[in-house]
């Protein structure tokens, strides 16, 4: 992530625009400023951490733009305007980087429409460097490959590769696959690949595979559709198999050290180390009921900004299957911005809530009515209304 360290900053008045970047407004906490910035139609926050005699200027992690060049350009223009005396930077060399126009990378809103694709769908979860996903796309020009990744640089690199290879049958989304499943239509997917998921031996609640995930996977798979788990972890294999066995809607097949036509970066490493590799394939045997599109969660009331501004303290609400954590507040005379985490315990949403005189919204993404989010949203509304 590009960032800049300076020992002098003359914070400019907002709004201003430079070289196609708009700096719209800012909010402040005790020791940091969030600057709402727009570049190429994408909005994100620049974060200025005030640590006198030093100032750190960087992109705020939750709201990163789809392409790092947008952030680099914004940082460059901001420090220029703020007359920063720069001690260190790793954000300068953006001028010779290419900006990929991305029809490939989709926002979560795209999936909320619940529309019917006219092609057979394959889904790859946590595609990493994208080797397997690109292989599938090249070899299945008549199918659409949906790639889900939480690691943004992997999304950018794979999108670049798709551009270079001229692949038109790939869409990528930067989202937690455990939440995204609720967005997909029932009986719509032919194959789900989960190759070398992070085993999270010490934090199993972070694993992609869970009973909840498998139920959703079987719901979105067509009859005869498969979920292919490939792992080198003995522990993950045992854990996943236990979960798979609990479900009566699937046939299960296990293979040991089966070579696929394409080997991923991780796989090459494990093979060199002489590790065993397991494939567990789950075949869906039942038709699932249709699901409806997820609606967007709205705030439909006016609140008292001053009250929130004056009374805010970090707070944690725990429900049975969901939580809400109001973590930190930034404010100005016109706005309050709250950094929050909420939703299901094992797949939380991390968001800002932007509260203005006449509008409240989630940022950087819309939040959709997945079950745990809906419950959390009710608490958020109640809390905002005092």
Ligand X SMILES: C[S@@+](CC[C@H](N)C(=O)[O-])C[C@H]1O[C@@H](n2cnc3c(N)ncnc32)[C@H](O)[C@@H]1O
Q: Is 231 a binder of ligand X (CB under 6 A)?
A: no
**Minimum distance from CB of 384 to ligand X (Å)?**
29
The contact mask relative to ligand X for 262-281 (x = CB under 6 A, - = no) is --xxx---------------
Contact with ligand X (CB under 6 A) among 196, 213, 236, 322: 196
Which range in 30-38, 192-200, 291-299, 318-326 contacts ligand X by CB under 6 A? Answer: 192-200
Beta bridge mates, 217: none
**Minimum distance from CB of 183 to ligand X (Å)?**
13
Q: Enumerate residues 6+ apart whose C-beta is below 8 A from 259.
A: none
Token pair 């991923």: residue: 264
Q: Which of residues 287-326 bind ligand X (CB under 6 A)?
A: none
Nearer Cβ to ligand X, position 180 or 305?
180
Q: Is 33 a binder of ligand X (CB under 6 A)?
A: no
Nearer Cβ to ligand X, position 55 or 196?
196
The contact mask relative to ligand X for 149-178 (x = CB under 6 A, - = no) is xxx--x---------------------xxx
Tokens of 63: 């709201």
The contact mask relative to ligand X for 42-81 (x = CB under 6 A, - = no) is ----------------------------------------
Nearer Cβ to ligand X, position 108 or 148?
148
Beta bridge mates, 256: 278
Nearer Cβ to ligand X, position 63 or 177?
177
**Minimum distance from CB of 206 to ligand X (Å)?**
7
Nearer Cβ to ligand X, position 26 or 349?
349
**Furthest C-alpha separation in the chain:** 65
Nearer Cβ to ligand X, position 33 or 182?
182
CA 211 to mean position of chain CA atoms: 21
Tokens of 260: 């696929």
**Minimum distance from CB of 133 to ligand X (Å)?**
8
Q: Is 210 a binder of ligand X (CB under 6 A)?
A: no
Nearest to 349 by CA among 327, 331, 332, 330: 327
Nearer Cβ to ligand X, position 23 or 212?
212
Token pair 């038709």: residue: 287
Tokens of 330: 């930034």
Tokens of 125: 């979860």
Q: Which of residues 83-142 bind ligand X (CB under 6 A)?
A: 125-129
DSSP for residue 368 = B
Which range in 156-164, 193-201, 288-296, 361-369 contacts ligand X by CB under 6 A? Answer: 193-201
The beta-carbon contacts of 27-32 under 8 Å, at least 24 apart in sequence, are: 27/330, 27/331, 27/332, 27/335, 27/336, 27/337, 28/330, 28/331, 28/332, 29/328, 29/329, 29/330, 29/331, 32/330
Q: Please work out the total of residues on this chain that contact ligand X, with binding judged by CB under 6 A.
A: 21
**Minimum distance from CB of 346 to ligand X (Å)?**
10
Alpha-carbon dihedral sign for residues 173, 347, 281, 186: negative
DSSP for residue 52 = T
Contact with ligand X (CB under 6 A) among 198, 241, 243, 262: 198
Q: Is 260 a binder of ligand X (CB under 6 A)?
A: no
Token pair 């300068």: residue: 92
Nearest to 213 by CA among 187, 176, 258, 238: 176
Nearer Cβ to ligand X, position 27 or 344?
344
Distance separating alpha carbons of residues 355 and 378, to the nearest angstrom: 16
Cα distances from 377 to residues 157, 233, 384, in angstroms, run 34, 37, 10
Which range in 2-10, 196-204, 269-277, 366-374 contacts ligand X by CB under 6 A? Answer: 196-204
Nearer Cβ to ligand X, position 127 or 244?
127
Distance separating alpha carbons of residues 158 and 264, to the nearest angstrom: 13
- Please, are residues 218 and 249 in contact by the beta-carbon 8 Å criterion? yes
Nearer Cβ to ligand X, position 181 or 384?
181
Residue ranges that bind ligand X, judged by CB under 6 A:
125-129, 148-151, 154, 176-178, 195-198, 208, 264-266
């Amino acid at each position: 992530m590009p960032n800049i360290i300076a020992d002098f900053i003359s914070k400019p008045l907002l709004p201003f625009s430079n070289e196609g970047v708009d700096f719209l407004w800012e909010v402040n906490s005790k020791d940091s400023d969030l600057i709402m910035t727009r570049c190429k139609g994408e909005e994100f926050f620049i974060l200025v951490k005030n640590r006198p005699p030093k100032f750190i200027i960087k992109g705020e992690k939750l709201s990163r733009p789809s392409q790092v060049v947008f952030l680099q350009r914004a940082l460059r223009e901001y420090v220029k305007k703020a007359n920063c005396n720069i001690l260190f930077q790793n954000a300068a060399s953006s001028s010779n980087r290419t900006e990929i126009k991305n029809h490939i990378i989709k926002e979560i809103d795209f999936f909320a429409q619940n529309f019917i694709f006219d092609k057979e769908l394959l889904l790859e979860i946590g595609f990493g460097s994208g080797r397997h996903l690109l292989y599938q796309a090249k070899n299945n020009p008549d199918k659409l490959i949906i790639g889900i990744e939480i690691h943004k640089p992997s999304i950018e690199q794979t999108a670049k590769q798709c551009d270079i290879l001229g692949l038109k049958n790939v869409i990528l989304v930067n989202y937690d696959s455990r939440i995204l499943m609720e967005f997909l239509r029932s009986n719509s997917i032919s194959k789900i690949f989960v190759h070398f998921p992070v085993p999270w031996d010490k934090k199993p609640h972070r694993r992609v595979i869970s009973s909840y995930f498998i139920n959703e996977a079987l719901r979105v798979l067509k009859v005869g559709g498969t979920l292919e788990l490939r792992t080198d972890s003995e522990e993950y294999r045992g854990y996943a198999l236990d979960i798979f066995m609990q479900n009566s809607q699937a046939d299960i097949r296990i293979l040991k050290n089966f070579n696929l036509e394409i080997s991923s970066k991780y796989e090459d490493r494990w093979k060199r180390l002489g590790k065993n590799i397991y494939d567990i394939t789950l075949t869906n045997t039942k038709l699932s009921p249709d699901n409806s599109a997820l609606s967007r969660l709205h705030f439909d009331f006016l609140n008292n900004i001053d009250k929130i501004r004056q009374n805010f303290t970090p707070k944690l609400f725990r429900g049975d299957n969901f939580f809400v954590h109001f973590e930190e507040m930034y404010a100005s005379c016109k706005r309050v911005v709250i950094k929050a985490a909420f939703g299901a315990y094992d797949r939380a949403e991390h968001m800002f809530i932007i509260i203005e005189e006449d509008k409240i919204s989630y940022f950087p993404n819309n939040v959709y009515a997945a079950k745990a989010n809906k419950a959390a949203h009710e608490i958020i509304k109640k809390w905002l209304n005092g």
